[in-house]
Structure 1
Amino acid sequence: MVDISPKSTNCADLLIMSKQKLKECDDFVNGKTTIHCKIKSLTRKQLTGNDIPERDLFHRQLEESFEEMLFSDFTFKVRGRKLAAHKNILAMRSPVFAAMFLHPTKEVQSGEVEIEDIDPDVFQELLRYMYTGSPQSTAMDVMAPGILAAANKYMLDQLKTRCETHLIRQMSAKNCLDLLTLTTHHPAEHLKKFAIDYFRRYPGEVMGTDNWKKMKEENPALLCDLHQMVFTAPTV
């Protein structure tokens, strides 16, 4: 048995062995031998800066850019809360921001824009997604409807789809009406289809919720529109 246990940290050094050297081994019999080797795999925590794959390193650097916001050149004032960002990242990720930065508007020249129709925590998760490609899972559990609305506004289609999938998995009699209402303001066809189907399958449960009673008292016109939408939509 030929033992090639690691004597070097360079993998290339370990794997190079000439055919002649194998033939000279005592265990080389009838043209055959058995090679015993040990392979060690490094975890992500054990990797040094030089060992990390370039794509992972780039992803880590984007995460650090989001967390630290060094050299940021644009500020969002979201309901009074200031959130920094980099214009090149925003323009690369969202066609809405790309179009915004093409024109010398007052906001672009000042480097600050006010946003009043999005919750600050939701907008922060929107920024996190644009930098890292993923919002926090805990944020999705709490803010998925708001994140979907923001993703729709800034044309982040993949984030919008992720929100739809998350909400479909969480659908219940308690939130079905809210999700239907959400789709009337922010087009989300997959979510709308599943909400309609859920309502049709469990009408008694949906109409027995506090949400139904509250909407019946406060906004009967919207409730009538939702009810009509559910029972006139084509069956797929």
Structure 2
Amino acid sequence: MLTVEEMPPISGSEMSTANSSLIDDQEKPQTKSQKFGETSFLSEDLEAKPSCPVQVWIKTNYEKAASSKSSMLPMVKYGSNKWRMEVTNPIDPDNRYYYRIYPCSITILIDLGTPVRERNVIMMSDGLAEMFYSQHLCDVHFDFKDSQTVGAHVVILSAGSPVFSAMFRSEFLKSKTKKVTITDIDIEVFRQLLIYLYTGSAPKLAQENMTQLLFEAADKYNIDNLKTECTDVLLKRVNLDNAIRLLVWSHIHSVAKLKEATLKFLAANSLRIFSQPEWMDLIKNYPELCLLATQHMSKLLNITNKTAKST
């Protein structure tokens, strides 16, 4: 059990400040180190959780500060499994004689014994993601409508997408502008795609108006892991209101797993599906899909009848 409690002041020699800052904490996802390859970095003998943390940090965010950066400080261990630290409330930049800046949130981060190799990968990923969030040293820029622009790094995008890799050939690198105009993807969807390439996670992937669009973008740039994650989210979302639409969409975009799931769902709920206007639209516009759905319904009915006769 981890115990965190208020203690008397700690001497300066007992701890040091970690020079770390995070930009836009709400948008920034947790790093998924496994996304950088198919093989786990955790060895079998290290997958079991240790009995106590090996390091603890505390991160604070303030309602008012000179900059938007939050701070993360290491805690000091004492005793068998207790941690302590001292935090000085920052001075209000508008009135330095009063301590008027109060923490609006406190987060405790615990390292339960991350293997060195995995920890190094996480640190590297955090550094790369920070470059994207700060738009530092970007060597390619994507232009969208309304003069909106997002910068990125050629080497990161090329490593995560064979389409980007093919795009950034020597001809492109020799150009003076090094800009790409995007007309078929919304800027927020494209940002989520880029964040995924940097961190292995898209924070807004599960939003209802984002998942299918993000899948389509991932399909265009051949990012298979992201397509799989989008599909997993959509599989959990199938219901009476969207089953027919998802069937059509999965057929158009060749999402076999989702297509099969929606066909089974339609078969299991055939009586309620037949009464929907979307069913008539399916018959008129996608007769081949209607036939597939009907065949699934017929198979399910036969199975049900055989089961009833045997009992």
Task: Give the secondary-structure state (helix, strand or coil) at the position aligned to 1:55.
Answer: helix
Partner residue in 1 for 2:230: 163
Whether 1:231 and 2:307 are equivalent positions in the alignment is: no
| CA gap 1:120/1:43 in 2 versus in 1, 3 angstroms | same
Task: Show the 5 A alignment for 1:6-25.
Answer: none
Contact kept, 8 Å, 2:205 with 2:230, in 1: the verdict is: no
Task: Give the secondary-structure state (helix, strand or coil) at the position aligned to 2:206.
Answer: helix
Report the CA distance between 1:226 and its aligned residue: 2.7
Report the CA distance between 1:204 and its aligned residue: 3.1
| CA gap 1:220/1:110 in 2 versus in 1, 3 angstroms | farther
| CA gap 1:73/1:40 in 2 versus in 1, 3 angstroms | closer
Partner residue in 1 for 2:191: 124
Partner residue in 1 for 2:239: 172
Residue-by-residue CA offset, 1:42-68 (whole Å, 9 max, x unaligned)? 2354765xx993222112212212211
Partner residue in 2 for 1:3: none
Report the CA distance between 1:230 and its aligned residue: 2.4
Report the CA distance between 1:84 and its aligned residue: 1.3
Report the CA distance between 1:157 and its aligned residue: 0.5
Contact kept, 8 Å, 1:125 with 1:147, in 2: the verdict is: yes
Task: Show the 5 A alignment for 1:146-225.
Answer: 146-209=213-276, 212=278, 216=281, 221-225=284-288
Partner residue in 2 for 1:145: 212
Partner residue in 2 for 1:85: 152
Partner residue in 2 for 1:42: 55
Whether 1:64 and 2:152 are equivalent positions in the alignment is: no
Residue-by-residue CA offset, 1:158-187 (whole Å, 9 max, x unaligned)? 110111111001111111122112222212
Contact kept, 8 Å, 2:143 with 2:179, in 1: the verdict is: yes
Contact kept, 8 Å, 2:142 with 2:180, in 1: the verdict is: yes
Q: Which has the higher strand share?
A: 2
| CA gap 1:89/1:200 in 2 versus in 1, 3 angstroms | same
Residue-by-residue CA offset, 1:201-225 (whole Å, 9 max, x unaligned)? 1123334446x17x72xx8643434
* % identical aligned pairs: 26
Task: Give the secondary-structure state (helix, strand or coil) at the position aligned to 2:149.
Answer: strand
Structure 1: any 5+ residue segments left out of the alignment? Answer: 1-8, 10-37
Whether 1:74 and 2:156 are equivalent positions in the alignment is: no
Partner residue in 2 for 1:97: 164
Higher RCO, 1 vs 2 (CA within 8 Å, ≥6 residues apart) = 2
Report the CA distance between 1:232 and its aligned residue: 4.6
- Which is higher, the Rg of structure 1 or of structure 2? 1
The one-letter code sitting in structure 2 at the alignment partner of 1:169 is K
Contact kept, 8 Å, 2:172 with 2:178, in 1: the verdict is: no
The one-letter code sitting in structure 1 at the alignment partner of 2:238 is M
Number of residues of Structure 1 aligned to a counterpart in Structure 2: 194
Contact kept, 8 Å, 2:283 with 2:290, in 1: the verdict is: no
| CA gap 1:79/1:174 in 2 versus in 1, 3 angstroms | farther
Structure 2: any 5+ residue segments left out of the alignment? Answer: 1-13, 15-50, 59-71, 75-110, 301-311
Report the CA distance between 1:141 and its aligned residue: 2.3
